[in-house]
Every structure is written in structure tokens, then in C-alpha cells.
Amino acid sequence: MKRETESADAQRHDLHLAHLDALYGVSQVLSRSLDYREIIQEVLRILDESAALGRGLISVLEPDGSLLVQSVHGVNPARLEPPVRYRSGEGVLGFVMEKNRTVILRRVQEERRFSNKMGIYDPHLPFIAAPIQVAGSLRGVLAVQPQSGEDDLLEDRARFLEMIANLIGQSLRLSLQVEQEKRSILEERDLLRRAVRHQHGFDSVVGRSGAMRRVFEQVRLVAKWNTTVLIRGETGTGKELIANAIHYNSPRARGALVKLNCAALPENLLESELFGHERGAFTGAICGRKGRFEQADGGTLFLDEIGEVSPAFQAKLLRVLQEGEFERVGGSRGIKADVRIIAATHRDLEAAVDSGDFREDLFYRLNVMPINLPPLRERLEDIPDICHHLLMKIGDAQKRKLSIADVALCCLARYDWPGNVRELENCLERAAVLSENGRIDEELIRFPGRERASGHAPAPMRSPIEDNAAHSGMDASLERERVVAALEQAGWVQAKAARLLNMTSRQIAYRIQTLKIERKQL
């Protein structure tokens, strides 16, 4: 008698050791991943191998209230096709679900309720099913078939199974939560993305003139191809808007549109900005960083002021265009990125090639699909449409309705707009601020640097800065405009702008501060 108890104790001891072993394995699996499908398969495998609990099965509560069998150890997943389900009260699993408590069968064949839907259970072996609970409510059922039923240790096994079920419950809850959050974030992302696409479609570019219609046609055609596009036009003609329209009307609209102003950064920074850098590539590079090229993978990269980069950098750019591959600064691994490139410049690239400032081969590469944006003075007939569009935009910002007098429109059409649409926008913005009743009359329209223009003074390619510099004794707003224009031309590099204005960097920094010029975000 005593020997029997001793041997039973030894058996129990061995079982507990095996359980402890399995528990260790399960705890490791649970801490490794958040994907519960992956987790449960691993857990079932461990139960079989370490604790002799075979035919492990996990079923999860579906929204319609039935139990859906998710995974069965040692059974080909194809056997779960069509999906195996249990309703509340149906079979032993349904019984566990209904009562929300553990069920122990000494022999499967003794239980009439046992339905054995998949026909995988040995009728002579025991069966244990434990509920998987999250915060007290049932979320699923974990069931196993112990590989031996000769001992009196079924209770111990059931207790162990309950422990495992509790652990799974936690990770199930977490992964369901993560999944749900992920889904709602994705939905929101798609919603926002669509809103952005609607905003940046063709509606944001206004124009009915022949030249603009030709541009629209080109944009539509170019949008669906992956070719490199070169947008050419004077400052302020809306090159960025066209780049937006191309991107958001292309299949790449789901990807990112990444913008980079090449004139805004010094050479060495530009390279790491564009191609990224590896950890330790230079002082201060404490971690690796993705460049704009990598960020634009699957999307579009807009390189503004492409005419301003140095020949050394042009060589690197050419390589990317030709091979679609590049390296991070300080790295040797070639990185591939699927990027459509839209470049833009206001410079006369042909002249730059002639003078040796721009690589000839890069020029040919970029100039495959040029889109020439006409300056505003060549499409004066669009001014009324553009004005109405801009006034709507400015009115939205000022939260009031703005309108413009026909006389004022005529007056606008007589100017030759060296700063193009951007200058027109600034002009209207100023007039709108000065207007008390929201109506813009002729008196409110003022052009920088001169009294109202008389006739179409031909002023091709003359920069606004030269115009303004000739005019002395200007008031603060004109001064502001002059500094902004210079910054704009210099791609918001203060040192460059200072040179344009014949100032020192300190002088221009002082003006930026006193005139409250906001630095443009790049």
C-alpha cells in the first residue's frame, strides 16, 4: 500500500516536472511574438512534446457567438477547410463554452455528447477542455487529449491546462487589441490619404489658357508612367503644384511624395539627406538614417532646384537614375528603391550645360519629359480665374468672403508679374488684409518697386530682386517682400540670399527677425 502511494507520488512528481518544463517553453513562446496564430501553434507543439498532451486544439469565439477551430496540433490545416465551428452547447467544446468551466473525460467513448467532428480523437483516451478567459468572459476553448489515461493524475493535468489557457488568454487579448488598433489606424490613414489626394488633384491648378491646357494634358499623360519628369518654369509658376498633381494622379499616390529643395542644403548635408547615412558615417551620426530616396520607395521624389547642385553631386544622382541603386553615406551596401523622380528648376539648364555647370548626360536623363510652365505674363487671360481661386483660399484662412472688383482685375492684368502666381498671391493677400469689407478695389492693388505698370513692359527673365533693388526708400512691407523674394530665390539659404541683396548674413538675419519672416518649412 505504501509502495503504491510512493510510486503514485513519484509519478505525480515526474508529471509536475514535465509540466514545469512545458510551462517554461510556453512562457518563452508568449514573450517572443504578438501574432497569436503563430503563438498558438507553437504552444500546442510544446504541449504535445513536453507534456504528452496531444491533439491540442484551440478554438476562438467568433463575433456571431460560435467557436471557430483555429488550429489543431498534428492535423493538416487543409482538414479545417471548410472551417469547423461549434455552437454554444454543441458537443463537448460547446458545453465548455456554455458552462465556462473545465471538462474532464476519462474516456472519450464514454461521453455521448462528444461529437468528434474532425474524427481525430482516439476513443480510448481521456480528453480535457479548458476555457480561455479574458477578464472573466470566455474567449475560446483549449482542448487536449492526454496520451495516457492509466494514472489518477487527470485532475493535475486539467489544472495545468487551465494555467496554459489563462496565459494564452492574455496574449490573445493583447494581439486582438493590437489588431483592432492597427485596423482603425490603417482606415484612418486611407481616409486621410484620400482627402489629401482630393486636395492636390487638378483642382489646385487653375488655368484655361491654351498653354495651361497643354500642361494639364501632359500631366495626365505623364502621371501614369514611371518616367522622370522635368518641370521648368520661372519662380512662382507653380512647379510644386504640378508635381503634386502628377503624384496624386498616378498609381503611386498611395506611396509617399517626398520633397527636397536641393538649393536649401549645403552639399555634404544634401547627400546624407538624400541617400541617408549609416551609423558613425560622420561626427554626430549616432544612428543610421533613411534618406529621402528610401522614404520615397513606392512613391515619388520631388527634387526642387535641381539646377543648383554641384557636378560631384550630379554624378551621384546620375548613377541613381541609371541604375536605381545607391549607397548610404558611410555604407557599402547597395540599396534599391522604386522611386519616380520629378525634378524642377527655374534655371536655363541648356546654358548651364554649355558653361559646364551641369552635366550633359544628367541633363539628357532628366529632360526626357519636360513640362514647361508658362510665366503668368504669357497667360494673362487666366488671371481672373486664378484670382478667384486664390481669394477663396485666402478667404478660407481669414474666415470671410472676399471679392475683387473688375477694375482691379484689369489693373492686375496690366502688370507683367516677374514673380508669377506667387507674387500675385502675395499681392492679393496684402490687398485682402488692407480691405475692410472684403472687397478688393483698384486702390488696394499695389505692385512692389513701381507705380502701376503701364502697358506690357517686356521683362523676360528679370528677377524681382533686381527690380526691387533699383528702388530705394521702400517701406517695411516692401522691404519684407524684397527679403522674402531673395530668400525664395536662394532656396531659403540665408547666406545665399544675403549675397543677392548685398548684405552680410548678420544683416539678413536681423531683417528676418524684425520683419517677422517665417522660415519656410522644407
Partner 1 sequence: MAQNVRCLAHPVLAGAYFMFQTSRHERLYHHAQENARLVALGAQVAEEEHAAALRESLSAMLFRLEGTLNVMASVIARLRPREPDMAKALQSALQEGRAHLEDLRQFISQSQQEAISPVNLNEVLHDVLNVCTPRLLASGIRIDWQPAAVLPSVLGRPIELRALFKALVDNAIDALSARGWKTREISLTTRAEAGVQVRIDDSGPGIPAGLELKVFEPFFTTHARRTGHLGTGLSRAQQVVTEHGGLLDILPAPGGGCRVLVELPTGSGA
Stretch that binds partner 1, among 367-375, 447-455, 487-495, 509-517 (CB under 8 A): 367-375
Q: Is 98 in the site for partner 1 (CB under 8 A)?
A: no
What b/e readout covers 362-396, taking b as 16+ CB neighbours within 10 angstroms? bbebbbebebebbbbbebbebbbebbebbbeebee
Strands 103-105 and 85-86: unpaired
240, HSE (Cβ side, Cα atoms, 13 Å)? 12
Distance CA 452, CA 249 (A): 40
Distance CA 362, CA 311 (A): 10
Q: Return the residues of window 139-158 that contact partner 1 according to CB under 8 A.
A: none
What 8-state DSSP symbol labels residue 302? Answer: E
Q: Return the residues of window 296-315 that contact partner 1 according to CB under 8 A.
A: 298
Stretch that binds partner 1, among 139-147, 364-372, 410-418, 476-484 (CB under 8 A): 364-372
**From edge to edge, which strands make up the β-sheet containing 369-372?**
257-261, 300-304, 340-345, 229-232, 369-372
Binding mask 18-37 toward partner 1 (x if CB under 8 A, else -) reads: --------------------
The residue among 203 and 323 lying less far from partner 1, judged by its C-beta, is: 203
The residue among 18 and 353 lying less far from partner 1, judged by its C-beta, is: 353
**Residue tagged 477551430 (cell numbers):** 69
Q: Is 253 in the site for partner 1 (CB under 8 A)?
A: yes
By C-alpha distance, which of 392, 402, 447, 401 is closest to 424?
447
Q: Please count the other Cβ atoms lying within 10 Å of the Cβ belonging to residue 139.
A: 19
Distance CA 289, CA 276 (A): 5
Q: Is 197 in the site for partner 1 (CB under 8 A)?
A: yes
Alpha-carbon dihedral sign for residues 118, 122, 124, 130: negative
Radius of gyration, alpha carbons of the chain: 36
Cis peptide before 82, with omega less than 30 degrees from 0?
A: yes
Q: How far is CA 322 from the centre of its chain?
A: 26
By CB under 8 A, name the one of 185, 368, 407, 522 that touches partner 1: 368
Q: Is 99 in the site for partner 1 (CB under 8 A)?
A: no
What 8-state DSSP symbol labels residue 433? Answer: H
By CB under 8 A, name the one of 235, 249, 272, 494 that touches partner 1: 249
| The C-alpha cell that represents 469 in the structure block | 533693388
Helix%, strand%, coil% for the chain, nearest 5 = 50, 15, 35
The residue among 183 and 400 lying less far from partner 1, judged by its C-beta, is: 183
Q: Is 79 in the site for partner 1 (CB under 8 A)?
A: no
Strands 257-261 and 439-440: unpaired
Q: Please list the alpha-helical segments (H only) found in 54-153.
A: 91-99
The residue among 9 and 350 lying less far from partner 1, judged by its C-beta, is: 350
How many of the chain's residues bind partner 1 (CB under 8 A)?
Answer: 34
Q: Are 257 and 302 in contact (CB under 8 A)?
A: yes
Binding mask 161-190 toward partner 1 (x if CB under 8 A, else -) reads: -----------------------------x
The residue among 147 and 204 lying less far from partner 1, judged by its C-beta, is: 204
Q: Is 370 in the site for partner 1 (CB under 8 A)?
A: yes
Q: How many residues does the chain have?
A: 522
Give me the least distance between CB of 459 and partner 1, in Å please. Answer: 25
Stretch that binds partner 1, among 133-141, 346-354, 383-391, 483-491 (CB under 8 A): 346-354
Stretch that binds partner 1, among 28-36, 195-203, 207-215, 502-510 (CB under 8 A): 195-203
By CB under 8 A, name the one of 77, 83, 251, 280 that touches partner 1: 251
Give me the least distance between CB of 255 and partner 1, in Å please. Answer: 8
Give me the least distance between CB of 249 and partner 1, in Å please. Answer: 5
Q: Is 363 in the site for partner 1 (CB under 8 A)?
A: yes
The residue among 175 and 226 lying less far from partner 1, judged by its C-beta, is: 226
By CB under 8 A, name the one of 11, 115, 147, 226 that touches partner 1: 226
The residue among 194 and 462 lying less far from partner 1, judged by its C-beta, is: 194
What 8-state DSSP symbol labels residue 329? Answer: B
**Residue tagged 486664390 (cell numbers):** 390
By CB under 8 A, name the one of 80, 174, 352, 369 that touches partner 1: 369
Distance CA 428, CA 445 (A): 8
The residue among 19 and 340 lying less far from partner 1, judged by its C-beta, is: 340
Q: Is 77 in the site for partner 1 (CB under 8 A)?
A: no
Q: Is 83 in the site for partner 1 (CB under 8 A)?
A: no
Q: Return the residues of window 271-290 that contact partner 1 according to CB under 8 A.
A: none
Q: Are 490 and 346 in contact (CB under 8 A)?
A: no
The C-alpha angle with vertex 37 and arms to 33 and 42, in degrees rounded to 5, equals 70
| The C-alpha cell that represents 35 in the structure block | 501574432
By C-alpha distance, which of 486, 489, 442, 487 is closest to 468?
486
By CB under 8 A, name the one of 254, 471, 506, 520 that touches partner 1: 254
Q: Is 319 in the site for partner 1 (CB under 8 A)?
A: no
The residue among 211 and 369 lying less far from partner 1, judged by its C-beta, is: 369
Q: Are 255 and 298 in contact (CB under 8 A)?
A: yes
The residue among 20 and 392 lying less far from partner 1, judged by its C-beta, is: 392
Q: Is 223 in the site for partner 1 (CB under 8 A)?
A: yes
145 strand-pairing partners:
54
The residue among 174 and 353 lying less far from partner 1, judged by its C-beta, is: 353
By CB under 8 A, name the one of 15, 352, 353, 517 that touches partner 1: 353
Stretch that binds partner 1, among 113-121, 244-252, 377-385, 462-470 (CB under 8 A): 244-252
Binding site for partner 1 (CB under 8 A): 81, 190, 194, 197-198, 201-203, 220-221, 223-227, 249-255, 298, 338, 350, 353-354, 360, 363-364, 367-370
